[in-house]
Amino acid sequence: MSAIQTRLECVRATIPHEVDLVAVSKFHPIAEIRDCYELGQRCFGESHEQELRIKQEELPKDIAWHFIGHLQANKVKYIAPYISMIEAVDTFRLLKEINKHAAKHNRIIDCLLEIHIAQEETKYGFTPKACRQLLADGEWRALKHIRLRGLMCMATNTDDTSQIRREFQLALQLFEELKRTYFSDEDYFNVKSWGMTHDYKLAIEEGSNHVRVGTAIFGPRTY
Q: Who contacts 125 (Cβ-Cβ below 8 Å, separation ≥6)?
A: 88, 90, 113, 114, 115, 116, 117, 152, 153
User: Which structural domains are found in the chain, ordered by start?
Assistant: 3-217 (3.20.20.10)
Structure confidence at residue 209 as a pLDDT band (50, 70, 90): very high
Whether the Cβ atoms of residue 112 and residue 125 lie closer than 8 Å to each other: no
Q: What is the pLDDT of residues 10-34, one digit of tens each?
A: 999 999 999 999 999 999 999 999 9
Q: Who contacts 13 (Cβ-Cβ below 8 Å, separation ≥6)?
A: none
**Plot region of 66 (φ>0 → left; ψ -120 to 50 → alpha; else → beta):** beta
Q: Tell me which amino acid residue 63 is.
A: I
43 forms bridges with which residues in the sheet?
A: 64
Find the largest Cα–Cα distance for the chain: 52
Structure confidence at residue 220 as a pLDDT band (50, 70, 90): confident
Whether the Cβ atoms of residue 217 and residue 7 lie closer than 8 Å to each other: yes
- 193 vs 106, 144, 165, CA distance in Å? 26, 23, 14
Alpha helices in the chain (DSSP H): 3-12, 30-38, 49-58, 76-79, 92-104, 128-137, 161-182, 200-205, 215-218
How far apart are the C-alpha atoms of 7 and 75, rounded to whole Å?
A: 32
- 152 vs 7, 30, 68, 181, CA distance in Å? 25, 26, 9, 18
Q: What is the pLDDT of residues 104-162, one digit of tens each?
A: 999 999 999 999 999 877 778 999 999 999 999 999 999 999 999 999 999 999 999 99
Write down the pLDDT at residue 223.
54
CB atoms closer than 10 angstroms to residue 43: 17
Inform me whether the pLDDT recorded for 174 exceeds 90. Answer: yes
